Amino acid sequence: MIARARWVAFKIVLAIVIGLTATGFWPSAAAAAPSPPSVRADAAILMDLRTGQVLYSMRPDAREYPASTTKILTGLIALELGRLDDLVTVKSDVLKADGTSIYLEPGEQETLRDLLYAMFLNSANDAAVAVADYVAGNTTDFARLMNAVAAKAGATKSNFVNPNGLVDKNHYTTARDLALIARYAMHNPTFAAMVSTRTHDMPWPEKDDERHLINQNHFLSRYEYATGVKPGYTTQAKDTLVASASKDGIDLVAVIMRANGGGIWTDAERLMDYGFAVAPKTVKAVSPGDGLAVAAAKELGLQVASSSTPAVNPTPSTPAANPQPDGGSVWRGVIKAGLPLAALFGLSVWAVRRPRARRRGRFVMSRRPAVPRRVTHGGRTYVHRSIYRPR
């Protein structure tokens, strides 16, 4: 009777555990360790902004055209070396900037703040040229500065020759390098605030009107936890995106390069969902460095615009080599997945084990050693060895 009751209890608990696992209340192995998403692009990477740990990668070191994601580095350098309220006088070389434009005219004066918004939101190529001229005097010296800052941020497989990302065979980067540059940039609060801005109005003196700038990063409106950064496109580069997101204290950056089929926004969302599932919840943040543009300008001996926030003890960051998945998160997943199995195993052992004592007729099973016993039955006396004893 007792064994039957235990078997019934075992089946009841088994049904409860299966039901909880199926409904998602009790995490299954698949929920604890989701499969990496499929990305329709030539190269991609997902990085933890807090530590630089790589959570996902696909050809991360393949050489690609960055297109307008170049402006991430351009804007960051301007923020470190310039003052937002400075008036920038537009030079004639802005007229050579093809592609997206806010139609700047030589001699026009705009604040650095407005030019940066035009560059980040509308991806204005002429604004990027104006910013480069303001910082370094010309785009050639500014490109030297870009390469020096990128190298200090750990982006050693890139080469930049212009501030806006227009196609040039000598203008290239990798998904890993772009992630490292974006990681450094997003640690600048002004930069992070600008790239998350949806709209901005700047003066348009020639038309006695305002330019209404709208952020072309659709990831901001598509993904609930999005925080930035910058998309890009050229015929050669195809769709390129650097995106960032933050959730429950986890900050991520994803880079997708030369995307195929137009699903770049969906792929970025899937990467972020995967990252939030596998990234460690609590980590010791690793600084990507500080004041890299100031240090690079000094090393190159460039006469640049004065910085409103001079760097203190600039420390170049060093990217981790071959970063590995966080061990704590892996073990947490294993423990969560194994709890239902451990419970079922223990319950099954309890249900089928032999009871220590069981009544049989007039005798009770005992673990005492067998000894000779005299038993009288029907007027006769028997002597035998048995593990049974009278009740």
Residue 30: which residues within 8 A CB-CB, separation 6 or more?
A: none
d(CA 260, CA 262): 6
pLDDT at 4: 63
pLDDT at 317: 36
pLDDT at 347: 58
Flag the least confident range among 276-285, 292-301, 317-326: 317-326
pLDDT at 65 > cutoff 90: yes
Reported confidence tier of residue 203, pLDDT bands at 50, 70, 90: confident
pLDDT at 350 > cutoff 60: no
Do 59 and 207 fall into the same domain? Answer: yes
Which of 11, 38, 57, 71 is catalytic? The answer is 71
The percentage of the chain sitting over the pLDDT mark of 90, rounded to a whole number, equals 57
Query: What sections of the chain are H helices per DSSP?
Result: 2-23, 29-32, 70-81, 112-121, 125-136, 139-152, 175-186, 189-195, 219-222, 264-278, 292-300, 327-352
231 occurs within a structural domain? yes
pLDDT at 346: 62
Write the pLDDT tens digit of every residue in 4-50. Answer: 655 666 667 566 656 555 555 555 444 556 888 889 999 999 999 99
pLDDT at 381: 67
331 occurs within a structural domain? no
User: Active-site residue 68, yes or no?
Assistant: yes
pLDDT at 222: 93
Do 367 and 237 fall into the same domain? Answer: no
pLDDT at 289: 74
Looking at residue 35, the DSSP 8-state letter turns out to be P
172 occurs within a structural domain? yes
Do 126 and 173 fall into the same domain? Answer: yes
282 or 259: whose pLDDT is higher?
259
User: Active-site residue 123, yes or no?
Assistant: yes
pLDDT at 279 > cutoff 60: yes
- If one counts the domains in the chain, the total is 3
8 occurs within a structural domain? yes
Give the CATH number, domain containing residue 61. 3.40.710.10
334 occurs within a structural domain? no
pLDDT at 56 > cutoff 50: yes
pLDDT at 145: 96
pLDDT at 45: 96
Q: Considering the chain, what is the average pLDDT of its residues?
A: 80
333 occurs within a structural domain? no
255 or 15: whose pLDDT is higher?
255
The secondary structure of 47-111 as a DSSP string is EETTT--EEEEESTT--B--GGGHHHHHHHHHHHHS-TT-EEEPPGGGGG--SS-----TT-EEE
Which of 57, 91, 123, 244 is catalytic? The answer is 123
The secondary structure of 68-85 as a DSSP string is GGHHHHHHHHHHHHS-TT
pLDDT at 106 > cutoff 70: yes
278 or 16: whose pLDDT is higher?
278
Do 77 and 224 fall into the same domain? Answer: yes
pLDDT at 337: 55
63 or 354: whose pLDDT is higher?
63
23-27, 137-141, 379-383 — most confident range = 137-141
137 occurs within a structural domain? yes
Write the pLDDT tens digit of every residue in 290-317. Answer: 788 888 888 888 877 654 443 333 333 3
pLDDT at 129: 96
Spatial contact of 67 and 165, defined as CB atoms under 8 Å apart: yes
Do 40 and 19 fall into the same domain? Answer: no
20 occurs within a structural domain? yes
Which of 11, 35, 38, 68 is catalytic? The answer is 68
| Beta-bridge partners for 172 | 159
Neighbours of 22 (CB within 10 A): 10
3-state secondary structure of 167: coil
| Mean predicted confidence (pLDDT) in 333-343 | 56
Closest CA to 117 of 89, 80, 75: 75
Alpha-carbon distance values, 65 to 60, 195, 258 (Å): 13, 21, 8
Do 78 and 128 fall into the same domain? Answer: yes
Alpha-carbon distance values, 204 to 96, 157, 217, 355 (Å): 20, 39, 23, 90
Do 13 and 62 fall into the same domain? Answer: no
C-alpha torsion angle, residues 66, 72, 77, 79 (rounded to 10): 170
Do 14 and 140 fall into the same domain? Answer: no
d(CA 217, CA 29): 35
Task: At 206, list the tokens.
Answer: 């020639």
Do 100 and 197 fall into the same domain? Answer: yes
d(CA 383, CA 239): 95
| Structural domain span for residue 9 | 2-31+339-352
pLDDT at 67: 95
Do 113 and 253 fall into the same domain? Answer: yes
Reported confidence tier of residue 386, pLDDT bands at 50, 70, 90: low
d(CA 46, CA 101): 31
User: Active-site residue 317, yes or no?
Assistant: no
Do 319 and 346 fall into the same domain? Answer: no
pLDDT at 312: 32
The percentage of the chain sitting over the pLDDT mark of 70, rounded to a whole number, equals 70
pLDDT at 80 > cutoff 50: yes
d(CA 162, CA 69): 12
Reported confidence tier of residue 323, pLDDT bands at 50, 70, 90: very low
pLDDT at 274: 95
Do 345 and 210 fall into the same domain? Answer: no
Closest CA to 173 of 320, 42, 37: 42
